[in-house]
Chain A
């Protein structure tokens, strides 16, 4: 079965939160050395809560869809709750099984989020 199912294609064609945030309190850049993809993630964290989040950059369908799904999932959530997000949670959002190499694409956005939360 193809991994390019409805959810991934929807978020690939219409990525949510694909934006820069002028009022950002946090900004990070991450890279996937395997394919050279770069992802920028920006966020507003106030009063221990992630108020807004956006991402930009280039990537494959899996990395763009996962960034879209993840940013949608974490918005308006207390930072303490977000610290517990696992790779399995991200894969769960994508609703597909991924090979180890494609898993790296899918988890690039999580790496960015973790960096933001540790700042």
Chain B
């Protein structure tokens, strides 16, 4: 029964794989680094090309036909994204260069205004540097402090419902800001962000909550209103979209209140020699000519993900990850250490260290076998320090990965043992 369901599923994934032209150019590529960046489907490439060859005008300015068309397509992408994350209006969707810029925008426009001496910013040990360093910087400057939620031995957050620690151990009246990742880019842990935010706001309703959804938006359905956060950030290039485009979603009332991040064209209401008033969100935060082709490409990526079904993608990845963990343990036993939480916290990321072999050697030999994985600290140095390892190897799955990829990973690791002994 299980087998037949799986086979049917695989057929449709094979069809999906055909829509990614990189596999025609690299037929033997096993790409297991989608957490770093995803591959691009033809529809996204076409949308970007179409802008350049059919209507490559600037937006929000021209009166002529192709400028109107460019503006329309750019704003249509914003609407698609708003629907994709269930934002209450497209005006809450700000285009940025990516998650890092989105988080820095909040840190710079709001964080630095509200954090004072002795105030606290709460974050977790599993954050990507982009959701860690900006807060550390602000806390240090303001002589406040950064409070870190640790993880348990099963690689889930200490404040998850079954844990001994509670959110009240970390959130207090001093807390001004909670910055937390939806899914860890190293452990693959899916955090119960809704529960954590609800519990945190119960203790202190005034805290601002920021969710890093870089590893969530591409892989699982997101509903910003249900999560209950104030801001949520993600990148286009990790979700089948182009590089150089990302999103900051924020609650309208907060966006209204915040100062602009950058100043110049496109973001103003009225300028005189003495004084400038600013446009309303989202334009207030989109100074200068934005990444137009990339925004339109991201809109196409969202259409593509919707057509496949984000929940279906999630299930596919979780299945592959579970299968990978079983295969690795069965084949290598104690020689492999896997840093993955149990279900239902597990996503499509499997990070491990392999015997005495250095992560770079493992990744290099896997590459010689046609398997692309990531080796290093994955921009989570505090987490690696906590785990007591300098580096790890990460295999991350997406909708175009198939069971054959898992077999190639296992075979590649056997080769690592054969070469390095």
Contacts and interface: CB of A to CB of B under 8 A. Distances in A.
Tell me, yes or no, whether A binds B: yes
Interface of A: 2-4, 9, 12-13, 34-37, 58-62, 102, 105
Q: Which 9 A-B pairs have the closest CB atoms?
A: A36-B390, A60-B358, A60-B360, A60-B361, A61-B361, A35-B391, A4-B419, A2-B368, A36-B391
B226 to A, nearest CB: 38
Contacts of B419: 2, 4, 9
Interface in B235-260: none
B377 interface: yes
Nearest to A98: B364
Contact of A2 (B365, B384, B391): B365
A9 B377 CA distance: 25
Interface in B34-77: none
Given A9-B420, A13-B421, A61-B420, A35 B376 contact: yes
B159 interface: no
Contacts, number: 47
A4 B360 contact: no
A105 B365 contact: no
A34 B119 CA distance: 33
Contacts of A59: 358
Interface string B383-394: 010000011000
B337 to A, nearest CB: 16
Nearest to B368: A2
Contacts of B384: 36
Nearest to B369: A2
A3 B358 contact: no
Given A12-B420, A35-B358, A62-B360, 11 more contacts: A2-B368, A4-B365, A35-B376, A36-B391, A58-B390, A59-B358, A60-B359, A61-B358, A61-B420, A62-B361, A102-B364
A59 B376 CA distance: 12
A36 B358 contact: no
B106 interface: no
B375 interface: yes
B283 to A, nearest CB: 39
Interface of B: 358-361, 364-365, 368, 375-377, 381, 384, 390-391, 419-421
Contacts of B376: 34-36
A73 to B, nearest CB: 22
Contacts of A9: 419-420
A119 to B, nearest CB: 26
Contacts of A61: 358, 361, 420
A39 to B, nearest CB: 12
5 contacts: A3-B368, A4-B420, A9-B420, A35-B358, A35-B377
A60 to B, nearest CB: 4
Contacts of A62: 360-361
Contacts of B360: 35, 60, 62, 102, 105
B344 to A, nearest CB: 32
B131 to A, nearest CB: 20
Contact of B359 (A2, A3, A35, A102): A35
B10 to A, nearest CB: 32
A35 B361 CA distance: 11
A12 B360 CA distance: 14
Nearest to A64: B358
Nearest to B384: A36
A3 B364 CA distance: 9
Contacts of B390: 35-37, 58
Contacts of B377: 35-36
B21 to A, nearest CB: 24
Contacts of A58: 358, 390
Contacts of B375: 35
Contacts of B391: 35-36
A75 to B, nearest CB: 25
A109 B54 CA distance: 53
A112 B10 CA distance: 51
A62 B361 CA distance: 8
A68 B104 CA distance: 44
A13 B384 CA distance: 26
B179 to A, nearest CB: 24
B394 to A, nearest CB: 13
B195 to A, nearest CB: 34
